[in-house]
Amino acid sequence: MSSPNDRPAVPQRRRTRATRARILDAALRELGRNPDSSLGDIAEAAGVARRTLYTHFAGRAALVEGLTEDAVRAIRHAVADASAPCAGSGRGPASALARFVLTLWPVGDAYRTLIGLARQDLGPDEVSELLDPARETVAGILAEGQRRGDFHTVVPPGPLSAAIEAHLLALLGTVNAGNWADDGSGAATSALIAAGVDSAAATATVRRLHDPGQLPSTPG
């Protein structure tokens, strides 16, 4: 049983966790915008003093490590959710690809930021290792779709997966720049079209997946 002296520590721990989360959120935004952002830039964006940032993270390496852990956790949740069975959503490759994009879209900033950090803080090999589960999932969906004749076969699954990834990252960049607004439906539709699905069928597939209960919720 806790003593009265323990009680003040509970709100303090909550404040500490909240501050840490705010710093990581700011780091995700700032490093996604510019991988060269300084710790001062991140502290300012988080609304904390630089010394407060250092209380939670000893330096840039520790901050990037914390950001990477959170980002990879979010991406893995999205991959698992996108692969989970979903009643009535369709089992074909087109539905699988659309569902993957719709599920991953909310954590797209985390995905994009990890790629941006490859140049300075993470080696390309490490970034590939972190993102391979998502990339392999898409390549597998594309390979099955090509085998079944649902997707075009002009480009092999691996290169086509890389092209669709670059396409989606570019679309996410336009959203972040305020040039476009999308909840993931436009991105998912364009991914299907890039894979070779007729535009009308692609639109219908994504619309069906947007029905209540068709997509799992993704943890923040």
Please, which pLDDT band fits residue 214 given cuts at 50, 70 and 90?
A: low
Please state the pTM of the whole predicted model. Answer: 0.80
Q: What is the mean pLDDT of residues 101-107?
A: 91
**Does residue 88 or residue 140 have the better pLDDT?**
140
Give the integer Cα–Cα distance in Å for 172 and 139. Answer: 20
Q: Which domains does the chain have, with CATH numbers?
A: 1-57 (1.10.10), 61-209 (1.10.357.10)
For the chain, what is the mean pLDDT?
86
CA distance 81 to 68: 20
Taking only the tens place, the pLDDT of each residue in 143-201 is 999 999 999 999 999 999 999 999 999 999 898 888 999 999 999 999 999 999 999 99
